[in-house]
Amino acid sequence: MTGAAAGTPRHALVTGASRGIGLMVAERLLQQGCKVTLMGRSSSSLQKATEQLAALGDVAYVTGDIVEGAVVKAAFAQARERFGPIEILVNNAGQAISERFDRLTEDGWHQMLAVNLTGTFHCIQAAMPDMLAAKWGRIVNVASTAGLQGYAYVSAYCAAKHGVVGLTRSLALEVARKGITVNAVCPGYTETDLVREALDNIMQKTGMSLDEAKAKLAEGNPQGRLVQPAEVADAIAWLCQPGASAVNGQSIPVDGGEVMVG
């Protein structure tokens, strides 16, 4: 995927990129010809991911916690120095906690908003000037089906992801005539480390086996299975392509048909 300057590869930055969906997104974007910066908090995990992807193209990493605005700006500046302006941003970093609402602490509430919503805000603000200058950009926010409907025991997570969907829709209108699209991808239960934590929680509380716990999570998916990270990454990579320029402000479920938005 190349930019306006003849043959110049576009620079994509992916947060939460050392594993799971983020790692698969980075792989897909490299395969599409982008230069890719991975961002996360663990330098050792990012180094390992960078080495894993190196054969596919130009890839590097920056470290930083998306909760801290100043840290995000510094990390994006570092990425820009290496690969140039950021024209594609995939906000994949996220976190979930499960707790009954009356036991949810204020700290837990603020943590969910900070990581899942405010972190997305910080990253978009850090990348937006490059996209406005280029008159081209792709922003894809990895929300969740929890941003489209409610789930018991994850009220703070659902509130934050609903916020991501609202931010996506609002910002898409602001930049619609500036060559920038803003969309959200909303995975259902996906076989990632985040869901493995949920499986561990189910097994601990119910005594279910791993297969039984997986089946429990997959009940809501009409296909009767967990979504795979590569399936989510394929949807995200498509939204980043020039051919997806008419898709804007959408929240696309990748969930086997669990949520139907019409």
Tell me the catalytic residues: 157
With 0-12 / 13-18 / 19 or more C-beta atoms within 10 angstroms meaning exposed / middle / buried, residue 73 is middle
Amino acid at 225: R
* Interhelix angle 229-239/20-31, nearest 10 degrees: 50
* Residue 10, token pair as written in the block: 């576009």
Strand partners of residue 91: 141
**Alpha carbons 239 and 24: distance in angstroms, whole number:** 15
Q: How many angstroms separate the Cα of 91 from the Cα of each of 117, 120, 140, 209, 219?
A: 10, 6, 6, 33, 28
Instruction: Give the angle 143-146-148 at the CA atoms, nearest 5°.
Output: 85
- 161 three-state secondary structure: helix
Question: Which of 53, 135, 57, 125 is closest to 91 using CA atoms?
Answer: 125
Tell me how crowded residue 35 is: count the other CB atoms within 10 A of its CB: 24
Contact 71, 119 (CB under 8 A): no
